[in-house]
Structure formats: C-alpha cells, structure tokens
Structure 1
Amino acid sequence: MRAYAELSPSPRSIMTPGPVEVDPRVLRALSYPILGQFDPEFTALMNDTMEMLRLVFRTDNRWAYPVDGTSRSGIEAALTSLIEPGDKVLVPIYGRFGHLLHEIAERCGAEVVTLEQAWGRVFDPADIADAIRRERPQLVAVVHGETSTGRVQPLDGIGAACRETDALLVVDAVATLGGMPVETDAWQLDAVVGGSQKCLSVPSGMAPITYNARAEAKILARKRVERGLRVPGMANLEPAEGRRFIQSNYLDLAQLQDYWSAARLNHHTEMTCMLYGLREGLRIALQEGLEARWARHRRHEAALVAGLEAMGMRLFGDSSCKMAVVTCVEIPEGIDGESVRAMLLSMFGIEIANSFGPLKGRIWRIGTMGYSCRRDNVLRLLGAFEAVLARHGASVKTGAAVQAALDVYEAGEIE
C-alpha cells in the first residue's frame, strides 16, 4: 500500500486577483474546536457575523449573511431566488464575469438583454440608466469590479434608475468588498454578493450576501417550505398564487434566511470552521477601519504601478476606471507569458495570473488584495518580475522598479 506524505504546502506570495494569502489570525480561527450548529455559542457567532457584514457592506439591511459555497454560489443564490422564468434581465457586460451573470440569468429562464463594452473600459452609468428606462427589466445584474480586465464600474445613479422602473439591482462585488468602497445603501443596491477569498483574506468557501426589503418581498413571494420541515399549522408552505417557487433547494434565499433568523429553521449543516474564519476576517477588516483599509490598497497599488511603469511595462486598460486591487500588465511582444509566470513561481515562489477570453495570452493580472496587499510583497514582486523578464529577453530598465516603488512609500509610508 502506498504511503502518502504528510501535507506540507509550499509557502507562496500570492499576487493574483484571488485567492490571496490568508491572514494568520484567520488560519488560527479555522483550527478552533467544532461547535454544533444550534449551540447557543455558535448561533451567537452567527449573529456577530451578520452584524459585521452589515458594517462591511455599509447597509442597514436586515439580511446580511454568508451562503455556504464559493463566491459563485452567492451570485447564483441571488439570481436564482430573484429571477422567475420569463423575467427580463439587463446585464451590462465589460468582461468575463458579466458574461457569467448572463449565463446564470439565462439558466434561470430569463429573457436576457445585454449591453457590451470593450474589455478594458466600463460604461457611463447614464447609459446603463437609459437602457433600464428603455428596456424596463425586472432585474439588472452588474459586476462592480471585473477582475478579468482590472476595471471597476461606477454604480452611483444606476440604483435610482432601477427604483424609477421598479427593477431590482443585483451587484457582484466579489472582488471589491473589503478592499474598495461598496456603498450598498448610498448607491441603492438591492442585493450585493461579496467573496471571502479576495480582499477579506479568508479561504474560498463562503459568499457574503446582503439584500433589502425590496428583494426580500420577491424572495418571500416565491417561498416554498421544504416538505420534511413542515409541521401542522405552519403558514405559507407554497409560493403566492401565480408565482414560481425558487428552483434551487440549496441556493434558496427564502430558506436560508429562515436558518439565519431567530427561528433557526434547519436547512443544511452550517460550515462551522469557515464561519469562524469569515467572522475573524470581518473582525480584522473592521479593526483596521474600512477607510484605512481602502487607503492601504490604494497606496500599495500606487507603488506597484510606479514600479511597473519605471521598469518600462505597459499597463492595460482605461486608467480612469482601474481597480485599486488588480493591475493588468500587457505581455511584451515575443515574450511567453506562461513561461514568465512559471519562473516567477518556481524560482521566487510568487504567483501572478493570466487572463481569459480575448485577453488570454495578452495580459498578466497582478492582485494586491487583503493580506497579500503588503509592502514586502510589492517590492519582492517588482524585483523578481524585473529579473525574470530580463531573463526572457524583454527590454526592461533594470534597477528602476524597486526604486520607484520606494519613492512612493517614502512619500507617505504605510505598512
């Protein structure tokens, strides 16, 4: 019988747009003893998590809790619970994950209308608002931070147009929550989905979500109580007349909110250790302070960009809508992008990302997210990147990158 080696993953500097390095305090929290999912000590942790999520989402919504699963599970839970077959859904697409929203909405039976923008640019919010008034959709689904292109879509004003037309606005903030401003209430967002494995520096496996009373009204109109949980006298067992029940059982927000409510109506076994980790990640973010955390991400982005430009690299995309947490770099002509990535990983233990679709083989994507967003990571990456590019025959200004980054840090140093 084969003897399997003890697990010992190699240490890495993960500079991708996710997953990122996990804060050591989160790793410690993941190791704590298991509690039962209805143990009062555990349900108190659930309540803490809801309170902290409201603060991070910048909302007074009643509902703010994690969906158990990767970030896509939260997106699918929101869309599956809010889209009924035949609903018109508007999706503005400016990268890979806008196409994902289109894909999921289509699978929900929606009539999908899309707007498309060239990858590397975003929409004028007024153009989206005009399309909402023209198309009169039941739901608008938009990506806030598009990691495939490194761009961030301004959202201010889109929510107001949705309120005018009685449409629901669902936002994918997976890549921005905890690293860039996400103003759920101020921007009039009806449902927002975040990610644990990006700017919150928690392992992948939970998708924070929040939604308001407008979204909840549609969710409850489609509510169906699972047959094995029904007891005599229970009300509202089936959806309202003429409404279609939510197709998914696992990703049914009507049932999930019953579990997260004081009723604690059983749905599935909660991911105990992952909740410990998410709670700790949220606590750390709030301890740092959201404004200070956003400023930290901007500072390290500025140092990274200064170093890359001093080296002679070209950045991809419209700089006016660049994400603070993702930097896209054009691969120089004649350079094998995958070979560069492989050498960075094998020789320096640093991982950066390639891209998708029309940008595959054209750009590298560098993440400065959460716990990975640190001065030592930025400086090590710049030095290693310069060395590897030179080794591959690229024309780079050696010695300039780290000095340019140090100039940024010395002008206003932040750890």
Structure 2
Amino acid sequence: MAKVSPPPECLFKPMNFPQKVLMGPGPSNCPPRVLAASALPMLGPTHPEFTLIMDEVKAGIKYIFQTNNEWTVCVTGSGHAAMETACLNLLEPGDTALVGINGLWGERFAEMVHRQGIDVKTLHRPTGEVFTFEEIEEALKKHKPTLLSLTHGESTGGTLQPLEGIGSLCHKYNCLLLVDSIASCGGVPLFMDLWGIDCLYTGAQKVLSAPSGASPISFSKRAKEKVKKRLTEVRSLYFDMNHLANYWGCDGEARRYHHTGPTSCIYAIRESLAVLAEQGLEESWKKHKHCAELLYEGLEKIGLELLVKDKSIRNPCVTVVKVPDGVDWKSVIEYTRKTYRVEIGSGLGVLVGKVWRIGLMGYNCTPDNVRLVLRVLEEALRVTRTARL
C-alpha cells in the first residue's frame, strides 16, 4: 500500500471567526435566529419534513417577489447560480438576448449568454446611470430580442433601475423581461406580477441576511411556456427548471429526487423570510429608505460626494461614494477593518480605486450602523490623510 501523506497542520487549529460589521455591498451579517436555524439537524432531500420547509420557502419567495407564479423555487448556489439558471432556461440557439449594461452585473449576464453561443446585443449606460423607457423601446425595435435583461439594483454604481412599464413594453415586442434584484429585493418596492416581470431572481446574502447558497428565482407563465416549448434541451441538467420545478413541488406531480439541496441554507433562508414577513415588506422598504437618507446626509456633512446625483434613482441598499482626490482608498478600507472591524466595499470594474460602496441591507440596516460607519469613515479619512503628510 502506498504511504499516506500527513494531514495538513492547519486543520488541527480552531477556525478564526472575527466578529465584523459588514457594511459593504454584501454579504450582510445574519440575525442570530437565522444562524441558529442553519445549525438545525440534517434532513434528507425528499423527507416530508424537509419538503414542508421547502413549501414554506416558496410561499416566502412569492411574498417578497409579490407574485403568484407556480414556478417559484430556490436554486442551489449563490446569486450567480440563479442568474445562470435564467440564462440557460430562457435562451437557446436562434434566440437573441438584449442585455442592459450599466455596471458589472449586466456585463456578467452578457458573458453567460455569449458562452452559450447565443446572439447577445447590449444596451450601455455609464455606471451610475439608468436606462430610459425611450432608449429601451428603441433597442427593442432595433434588435427584436427574445429576452431583455436589466439589473434592478446595480451594486456597482448604486443605481435603482425604474421598472414600471418595462414589462408591458417588452410584451408589446414579444420579448421576455428578466430582472436581477440581488442587491435590491426586500429593501425597495418590487412587484413582479404587477410590473410584468417574466423572470426575477435574488440572493440570500443581501437584504434577506442569510448565508449564500440558496437563491430565489421565479418564472412567469410566459417564461414557463418559453422553457416548455424549447426546441433544444436545457444545457445544464442541474439548473434545468423542468427538474427543479418538480423537485420544489411546482408541477403538481410527485416530487422526484433531483439533487441534494443545501439543507442548512434552506433552513436559514426560511427563517430569514420569516423575519422579513414579521416586519412586513412595506416597513422594510421604509426602514431602508430612512437609513439611506441618514447616510446621505451624514456623508455630505463629512465632505464626501455620492456617485449618483439623482436621488430618485439611488439604490438605498448600496450607496456609492466617490474617493476624494489625494486619498488612498485602500488605506481607508484597511483602517476601518483593522481598527473597528467595520467592512466597507471597494469599487468594481471601471470604478476600482475611485469609489467606496456602503451597504445598508436587512439586519445591518439600522440608524446605529449608519452612525457607526459615518464615524469610522470620518476618522479613517482624517488619520490616513495625516499619515500621508
């Protein structure tokens, strides 16, 4: 028998868990009851006790999405898995996707479409801006897409894309509307059915304040029919909605084993949905707006400038702040982290080194946390500026 190599020394040491206040664009800190739920005993993927919890999760997703769609599930994986599920199911060879790009997440979806070999057209706006109704309609006329993809809460630029009327516009041109609400769902008004959204997804680790690993997604009747009438098989067995809908009890048939779901993540997101339901969506929306306004006011007082000037298109869940001239953006982030264990985010894409991103989501969205992040940010600016002199 071959000699077994020794185990790594690092595994004999306890894991290090520093308690941080996560005030970046995600993930958020989890409420204690959500963490406690994730530590509950294991159940099998088809045990009746577990499928009951899955049904409760479905009901919670329908609530936060404001939808009655039958095809409403959690995809196993982070928000990217839900994004990939939408891409793989709703598009096939011969289709054309129109992707709105005003930050990293539009770019990411366009890349997913390209990797499938699907024709992808893009509609561009600078990061920190949103698309107008008129330019969307012009692009729909020009490209005649099968699907339009928009990011509701673009965490790269801190914008909130207006969606009312876009669904009806898409349907006028025989196009489906896909919306990424990972950095907005639960924190701002969002009405899937009323606004004619055909596919909507979000992540667990933002406003829901649960561990990533189970990502909500819902398909309208139009979107479901698009999947059912495909001429080719969905290229991923794992993300095939025909299988996922059955596994989640959405098709009226006996559940069949598809994969072993992330049991602990399902427990956690079930509890996070319960927390949001107890608070109420309207109260959550009001809380996020109030805390964001406190943050805007405080940032202005300490001399910082927001990337998004128009308050009506700011995403209250993620605020993007310009790095002042002469300030080392990285030193400020390191100071808040090391001195106070407060995390704020750096820029992404074209905004790397030019902005900071402050998240106010779910459990972390409190006036006390706003005051904390303002205080440590002001101190970090003063200290790091002095150190450069």
Q: Same fold (TM over 0.5)?
A: yes
Shift of 1:244: 1.0
Cα deviation, 1:103-132, whole Å, max 9, x if unaligned, reads 111112211111111111111123212321
TM-score (norm 1): 0.88
Alignment partner of 1:249 is 2:241? no
Cα deviation, 1:287-317, whole Å, max 9, x if unaligned, reads 1000000100111111111111011111112
Mapped contact 2:46–2:257 kept (Cα < 8 A): no
Match of 2:288 among 293, 297, 311: 297
Residue 365 of structure 1 aligns to which amino acid in structure 2?
R
Mapped contact 1:136–1:165 kept (Cα < 8 A): yes
Alpha-carbon separation, structure 1, partners of 2:272 and 2:279: 11
Match of 2:194 among 164, 186, 193: 186
Partner of 2:19: 11
Mapped contact 1:91–1:98 kept (Cα < 8 A): yes
Partner of 1:157: 165
Partner of 1:166: 174
Mapped contact 2:73–2:244 kept (Cα < 8 A): no
Aligned pairs for 1:237-276 within 5 A: 243-261=231-249, 262-276=253-267
Alignment partner of 1:287 is 2:278? yes
Alignment partner of 1:337 is 2:329? yes
Mapped contact 2:45–2:259 kept (Cα < 8 A): no
Partner of 1:83: 91
Alignment partner of 1:140 is 2:157? no
Alpha-carbon separation, structure 2, partners of 1:147 and 1:269: 31
SS in 2 for 1:154: coil
Unaligned runs of 5+ residues in structure 1 are 223-242, 395-415
Shift of 1:133: 2.7
Alpha-carbon separation, structure 2, partners of 1:191 and 1:75: 10
Cα deviation, 1:84-103, whole Å, max 9, x if unaligned, reads 01311111111111111111
Cα deviation, 1:363-390, whole Å, max 9, x if unaligned, reads 0000001111112211111111111100
Alpha-carbon separation, structure 2, partners of 1:124 and 1:141: 14
Alignment partner of 1:386 is 2:388? no
Alignment partner of 1:211 is 2:219? yes
SS in 1 for 2:255: coil
Shift of 1:156: 1.2
SS in 2 for 1:142: strand
Cα deviation, 1:297-351, whole Å, max 9, x if unaligned, reads 1111111111110111111123231101111111111111011100100001100
Alpha-carbon separation, structure 2, partners of 1:129 and 1:197: 33
Partner of 2:318: 326
Alpha-carbon separation, structure 2, partners of 1:185 and 1:191: 10
Match of 1:41 among 46, 49, 52: 49
Mapped contact 2:24–2:358 kept (Cα < 8 A): yes
Residue 53 of structure 2 aligns to which amino acid in structure 1?
L
Partner of 1:235: none
Cα deviation, 1:25-51, whole Å, max 9, x if unaligned, reads 100100111112211111111111111
Alpha-carbon separation, structure 1, partners of 2:368 and 2:127: 31
Shift of 1:286: 0.8
Alpha-carbon separation, structure 2, partners of 1:327 and 1:252: 35
Aligned pairs for 1:357-372 within 5 A: 357-372=349-364
SS in 2 for 1:315: coil
Residue 184 of structure 1 aligns to which amino acid in structure 2?
M
Partner of 1:197: 205
Alpha-carbon separation, structure 2, partners of 1:119 and 1:274: 32
Alpha-carbon separation, structure 2, partners of 1:91 and 1:308: 33
Shift of 1:8: 3.6
TM-score (norm 2): 0.94
Cα deviation, 1:271-299, whole Å, max 9, x if unaligned, reads 11110001001111011000000100111
Alpha-carbon separation, structure 2, partners of 1:213 and 1:263: 21
Residue 248 of structure 1 aligns to which amino acid in structure 2?
S
Shift of 1:140: 0.8
Aligned pairs for 1:103-122 within 5 A: 103-122=111-130
Alignment partner of 1:309 is 2:300? yes
Moved more, 255-264 or 27-36: 255-264
Aligned-pair identity (%): 37
Mapped contact 2:62–2:68 kept (Cα < 8 A): yes
Alignment partner of 1:128 is 2:136? yes
RMSD (Å) for aligned C-alpha atoms = 1.3
Match of 2:268 among 269, 277, 280: 277
SS in 2 for 1:393: helix
The ranges of structure 1 where at least 4 consecutive aligned residues each deviate by more than 6 angstroms after the TM superposition are none
Shift of 1:205: 0.9
Mapped contact 1:126–1:158 kept (Cα < 8 A): no
Alpha-carbon separation, structure 2, partners of 1:151 and 1:314: 15
Residue 253 of structure 1 aligns to which amino acid in structure 2?
M
Residue 345 of structure 1 aligns to which amino acid in structure 2?
R
Cα deviation, 1:191-249, whole Å, max 9, x if unaligned, reads 00111000100011111001111111121223xxxxxxxxxxxxxxxxxxxx1111111
Mapped contact 1:205–1:274 kept (Cα < 8 A): yes
Shift of 1:188: 0.1
Alpha-carbon separation, structure 1, partners of 2:182 and 2:254: 29
Moved more, 63-72 or 128-137: 128-137
Alpha-carbon separation, structure 1, partners of 2:134 and 2:63: 28
Alpha-carbon separation, structure 1, partners of 2:16 and 2:186: 29
Mapped contact 1:87–1:109 kept (Cα < 8 A): no
